Structure 1
Amino acid sequence: MKAITKHKYGGPEILKLEEVDRPKVKEKHLLIHVKANSVNPADWHILRGKPLFARLSMGLFKPKDNILGADFAGIVEEIGSGVTKFKVGDRVFGEFMDGGAFAEYACVPETACGHIPDGIDDIEMAAVPIAGLTALQALITQGKLKEGESVLINGSSGGVGHFTVQIAKAYGAQVTAVCSSKNADFVKSIGADKVIAYDQENIHQHAGKYDLVVDTNGNLNYADYKRMGKRGVMVGFTTMGHMMAVLLKNIFSKFSLRVFTAAANNEDLNTLAKLIKEGNVKPHIEKTYPYSEIPEAIAYIESMRTRGKVAISWD
């Protein structure tokens, strides 16, 4: 099968399109015939082996796993023993942070998959998993968002951000979104009640008050969370130093600030699928690349100026 491989750490230029052996299905796993992927900031962090401490699990001097990619959509080709929720021929989507999705076939845990609704195409659903799960869990699992509450979403036009806006509205929140002025109309079009353009107003001096502050950009400091929110959720971070500064201040405070990494599970993936089928959430796909141009797709998102998502097609 064809796969996008990496044999050392570096930038997108080190990736190769190679023929490799098709994976064998494992117990409680699915063998997926991949039809589409999306790319995420996690992909280029893993590709470059950063932050450096992450190499303790990824491989100290070279990657343990040679095939990159987490988000996928496709068809179940084969099921392993113990699988109960899926059958051969099911259309599924999901994510597997251990990698292996940028290939014609991928072996992934049953728990990391959800069913694709009828009438929704593979490319659209491939754009959902990591970003959609992060948004849903930031708002509901970590942020405990309730209907009628107000939420400030910093970094509202990117992959995670544009899902966060839509999911917050679907759950009945009043949404204030922070983005650049050029993305203001886009963010309003997906449901934001109010937009703060960070290039026109300094968010670090913003005096608004919200039930929940969600930072998908990662540039809010601890004082920002306490000034603006009753509680906060930190999704992204700009540097390790910035993240540690926020976390250290949080240790000695009673303010509720949650930091987490999204984890795939059937229930949350199927919740996202339901929101999409009912029209409450729609992935915005800025660009779609063929699988042979996955290195170019990763280079594009590394510029950190993506509106919505970047997808990959294997057809």
Structure 2
Amino acid sequence: MKAIVQDRFGPPDILQLADTDRPEVGANEVLVRVHAAAVNPYDWHMMRGDPFMARLTGGVGLTRPKSRVAGIDAAGQVEAVGADVRGLQPGDEVLGFCPGSFAEYARTTADLLVPKPASLTFEQAAAVPMGAVTALRGIRTVGQVQAGQRVLVNGAGGGVGTFAVQIAAALGAEVTGVCSARNVELVRSLGAAHVIDYTREDFTDGRGLYDVILDNVGNRPLSGLRQALTPTGTLVANGGGSPGHLFGAMGSMLRLMAVNTFARQQLRVILPTAPAGPTHEDLLAVTALIEAGRLTPVVDRTYALADAAEGVRHVEQGHARGKAVVTVP
């Protein structure tokens, strides 16, 4: 099968289209014929082995990538199921977490897949898993957003932010989105009551106070973020930062958790969504919102499988408006 592979850590140019063996499924596994795969910051972190400290945890690989085939999000059709799999059969249209999704076929477990909403194209469906589940966890699970609360989403025009604005609005919150000027109308159309162009206004200046802040960017000091919170407000940190660091977002998140010990405000982080942790219920929750018309994926642009490196470069540079998606013929 055709797949995007990498044999060492490095920049997007190391991602190459190659022929590789089709995965074989075990008793509890599912083989998915991939039609589309989303590009996430996760992908460039895995590509670069960045931050360096992540290599010591075992999830990335120490001297070379742990997973040779790139990608994590996918939408497609079930090709084959293991002997112990129930509820899925060949031909079913699905979306979910499929390690090695930048390929014609990817292998995963049944609990990491859910039925694809009929209203979505495969490209839209591929945009859902990591972005929507991260947003759901940040807004509902960790942020515990309630109706009537004032919620600010920093990075509202990005892959997680576009979902977070919609989920917070669906919960009845008064949402403020922070984004670039080119994304102002998009963020407003997703349900934000207020939109701040970060090039013209600093939301951490203390003039506005929020019950919950979801920070997807990591470009403001913790002191400023706390200044924008109510005295008992909640800050939810979701990574951020750029490549080439020893600790990266891990360092800022550890500092945040240390400060949280002494703070009246709640300072929290979103734990990794995939492939670790229970995600099936989260996937069902976001697809239920989609089927109810409360959540719509925003696809920025699509790339052919052979051009996946360009998609990763686009996301790594922070240019994506919503999600970038790789299509697989």
Q: TM-score range by the shorter chain?
A: over 0.9
Alignment-mate amino acid for residue 73 of structure 1: A
Q: Describe the SS at the equivalent of 1:204.
A: coil
- Superposition pairs for residues 1-315 of structure 1, below 5 Å? 1-56=1-56, 57=58, 58-96=60-98, 99-229=99-229, 230-238=233-241, 239-240=248-249, 241-263=251-273, 265-315=279-329
- Whether the 8 Å CA contact 1:135–1:163 is kept in 2: the answer is yes
Normalising by the residue count of structure 2, what TM-score does the alignment of the two structures yield? 0.91
List gaps (5 residues or longer) in structure 1: none
Contact 2:301 2:325 in 1 (8 A): yes
> Which residue number in structure 1 is paired with residue 244 of structure 2?
none
Conservation of the 8 A alpha-carbon contact between 2:204 and 2:228: no
Q: Deviations over 1:97-122 (max 9, x none)?
A: xx311111111011111110123211
Structure 2: where are the runs of 5+ without partners?
242-247
Distance in 2 separating the partners of 1:13 and 1:120: 31
Does the C-alpha gap of structure 1 residues 171 and 85 become closer, same or farther in structure 2, counting only changes over 3 Å?
farther
Determine if contact 2:133/2:273 at 8 Å carries over to the other structure: yes
1:123-144 deviations in whole A, cap 9, x for unaligned?
Answer: 1000111111000110111111
Distance 1:225 1:91 in 2: 42
| Structure 2 counterpart of 1:55, one-letter code | R
Question: How many angstroms apart in 2 are the aligned matches of 1:222 and 1:39?
Answer: 28
**1:71 CA drift (Å):** 0.6
SS in 2 for 1:141: helix
Q: Is the 8 A contact 1:120 1:277 kept in 2?
A: no
- Partners of 1:260 and 1:85 in 2: CA distance: 30
The total of aligned residue pairs comes to: 313
Deviates more, 1:87-96 or 1:148-157: 87-96
Kept in 2: contact 1:133–1:262 (CA 8 A): no
Q: Distance in 2 between matches of 1:257 and 1:82?
A: 42
Name which of structure 1's ranges 222-231 and 210-219 shifts more when overlaid on structure 2.
Answer: 222-231
CA distance in 1, matches of 2:313, 2:124: 21
For 2:10 and 2:140, how far apart are their aligned partners in 1?
36
Q: 2 CA distance for matches of 1:254 and 1:33?
A: 49
Preserved contact between residue 137 and residue 262 of structure 1 (Cα < 8 Å): no
Tell me if the contact between 2:205 and 2:227 (Cα under 8 Å) persists in the aligned partners. Answer: no
- In structure 1, how many angstroms separate the alpha carbons of the residues matched to 2:254 and 2:219? 12
What do residues 135-179 of structure 1 show as CA deviations (whole Å, max 9, x unaligned)?
011011111111222201111001101110011111111101111
Question: How many Å apart are 1:183 and its aligned residue?
Answer: 1.7
Deviates more, 1:199-208 or 1:120-129: 199-208
- 1:23-69 deviations in whole A, cap 9, x for unaligned? 11123221101110010111011100111122231221112221010
Structure 1 residue 232: deviation in Å?
Answer: 1.5
Identity fraction in percent = 39
Between stretches 287-296 and 231-240, larger displacement belongs to 231-240
Letter in 2 for 1:68: A
- For residues 210 and 119 of structure 1, the distance between their equivalents in structure 2, rounded to whole angstroms, comes to 34
Within 2, Cα distance between the matches of 1:214 and 1:260? 10
